[in-house]
Structure 1
Amino acid sequence: MKKILIPLAKGFEEIEAVTNIDVLRRAGLDVLTAGIGSREIEGDHEIKIETDIEISDVNAEDFDAVVLPGGMPGAANLRDSNQLRNIIKKLNEDNKLCAAICAAPIVLEAAGILDGKNATSYPGFDKDMTSCNYQEDRVVIDGNLITGRGPGVAMEFAMTLVEYLLDKETKDELEKSMLVKNN
Structure 2
Amino acid sequence: ATNLKEHKQLADVLRQQAEAGRMIGAICAAPMVLGTMGLLQGRRATCYPGVEHTLHGAEYTGQLVTVDGNIITGEGPAAAFPYAYTLLAMLVGHDKAEEIQIAMRYKHLMAEGS
Greater share of residues in helix: 2
Residues 93-172 of structure 1 aligned to structure 2 (within 5 Å): 93-172=19-98
Contact 2:36 2:54 in 1 (8 A): no
User: Structure 1: how far apart are the matches of 2:88 and 2:23?
Assistant: 11
Question: For structure 2, which runs of at least 5 residues remain unmatched after alignment?
Answer: none
Contact kept? 1:117, 1:133, Cα under 8 Å:
yes
Cα distance, 1:103 vs structure 2:
0.1
- 1:145-164 CA distance string (max 9 Å, x none): 00010001101100000001
Confirm or deny: 8 A CA contact 1:86 1:111 kept in the other structure: no
Mapped contact 1:85–1:110 kept (Cα < 8 A): no
Runs of 4+ in structure 1 over 4 Å off: none
What is the TM-score when the length of structure 1 is the normalising length? 0.58
Partner of 1:177: 103
Indicate the residue corresponding to 2:8 in structure 1: 82
Offset of residue 166 of structure 1: 1.5
Tell me if the contact between 1:89 and 1:112 (Cα under 8 Å) persists in the aligned partners.
Answer: no
% identical equivalent positions: 37
Q: How many equivalent pairs are there?
A: 109
Deviation for aligned residue 1:117: 0.3
Task: Write the letter of the residue equivalent to 2:47.
Answer: S
Q: Distance in 2 between matches of 1:156 and 1:95?
A: 23
- Kept in 2, the 8 Å contact 1:88–1:111? The answer is no
CA contact (8 A) 2:41 2:58 kept: yes
Is 2:44–2:68's contact at 8 Å kept on the other side of the alignment? yes
Return 5+ residue gaps in structure 1 as ranges.
Answer: 1-74
What RMSD in Å do the two structures reach over aligned CA positions? 1.0
Residue deviations 1:103-148, cap 9 Å, x none? Answer: 0000111222100000000000011112111111110000000001
Partner SS state of residue 107, structure 2: coil
Q: What does residue 4 of structure 1 align with?
A: none
TM-score (norm 2): 0.92
